[in-house]
Amino acid sequence: MTLLAIPFPVIDPVLLSLGPIQIHWYAIAYIVGILLAWFYTKRLANKASLWPKETSPMSAIALDDFVLWATLGIILGGRLGYVLFYNLDAYLANPSQIFAVWNGGMAFHGGFLGVTLAMILFAYKRSVPILSMFDLVAMAAPIGLLFGRIANFINSELWGRTTDMPWGIIFPNGGPEPRHPSQLYEAALEGLLMFILLRILSHSTLALKKPGTVAGTFAILYGIFRSLIELVRVPDVQLGYLSFGTTMGMWLSAPMVLAGILMILYAQRKSSGSVNS
């Protein structure tokens, strides 16, 4: 089995060291993901024909302002989610480590809730149509997921179970046996594939004209893809497997799928009501 394994590439998690200052690939991934998502949402918002009543839901200036809100939602929500959902006891014993985000430890579901709250507050303050804003951000979210999962791979974290598949990788901190590169699976499904599917949905079916449809689809796809990956991904050691062999990632993804279904049903019903009226 080891003969078929792929050795882990020699990649230092620290991109650059400037004296006591270290720049990690993990941080670069977040920065690049946010910047590309910002650029993409501005292009989408600028294409009025995609949106209800041929009107963009957000101006370029509003999107520029929202970047800070979104960044805070991602970082604060992601970190708080990891602390609460995955490792609360350890952080209560050593509270200073809560702020050491450069060591990893971000939870997507926490970041998702953080950005959702940021969107709700921003939409209320700027009188932005909330469902269309959800759709706009959902379109760009796979970009951040793609870069974030690649960063997880570089950090040699969140790897999968042992495997005899020829693409199994021997991670430096995962023991001598090859393992599923589950981070790359997630990058492919949650990042690349979901980006393509949402792009087709928005541009080929004009789903953005039914506010909430794209955001609901994003929630459903993420929940399904994440749950599938959890079948080969090793759960956090401090949690292990939960009831019936499930994982925390599965439990946190289930409400997303349900919320996505409800959002799509609401979007379709509201759209039908608008047409009939």
Q: Which residues contribute to the annotated binding site?
A: 149
Cα–Cα distances (Å) from 39 to 34, 98, 136, 180, 219, in that order, read 9, 31, 12, 33, 22
Any domain includes 10: no
The reported pLDDT for the residue numbered 104 is 64
Supply the range of the domain harboring residue 199.
16-276
Listed in sequence order, the residues at least 6 apart from 154 whose beta carbon sits closer than 8 Å to its beta carbon are 11, 13, 25, 26
The reported pLDDT for the residue numbered 87 is 83
Question: Do 165 and 2 form a contact (C-beta atoms < 8 A)?
Answer: no
Please give the mean pLDDT across all residues of the chain: 91
- Is pTM beyond 0.75? Reply is yes
Domains identified in the chain, total number = 1
The reported pLDDT for the residue numbered 49 is 94
Burial of 177 (0-12, 13-18, 19+ CB in 10 A): middle
DSSP 233: B
The reported pLDDT for the residue numbered 72 is 94
Which pLDDT tens digits describe the chain residue by residue (277 residues)? 455 688 898 888 888 888 778 888 888 998 999 999 999 999 999 999 999 999 999 999 999 999 999 999 999 999 999 998 888 888 888 888 887 766 667 889 999 999 999 999 999 999 999 999 999 999 999 999 999 999 999 999 999 999 999 999 999 999 999 999 999 999 999 999 999 999 999 999 999 999 999 999 999 999 999 999 999 999 988 888 999 999 999 999 999 999 999 999 999 998 776 654 4
Any domain includes 9: no
CA proximity to 30, closest of 19, 40, 38? 38
Cα–Cα distances (Å) from 216 to 52, 92, 257, 266, 267, in that order, read 17, 35, 8, 10, 9
Query: Collapsing DSSP states into helix, strand and coil, what is residue 166?
Result: coil
For residues 75 and 108, what is the distance between their CA atoms, to the nearest angstrom?
10
Any domain includes 155: yes
Longest dimension (CA), the chain: 67
Question: Do 84 and 179 form a contact (C-beta atoms < 8 A)?
Answer: no
Burial of 55 (0-12, 13-18, 19+ CB in 10 A): exposed
The reported pLDDT for the residue numbered 102 is 61
Burial of 85 (0-12, 13-18, 19+ CB in 10 A): middle
Any domain includes 237: yes
The reported pLDDT for the residue numbered 277 is 47
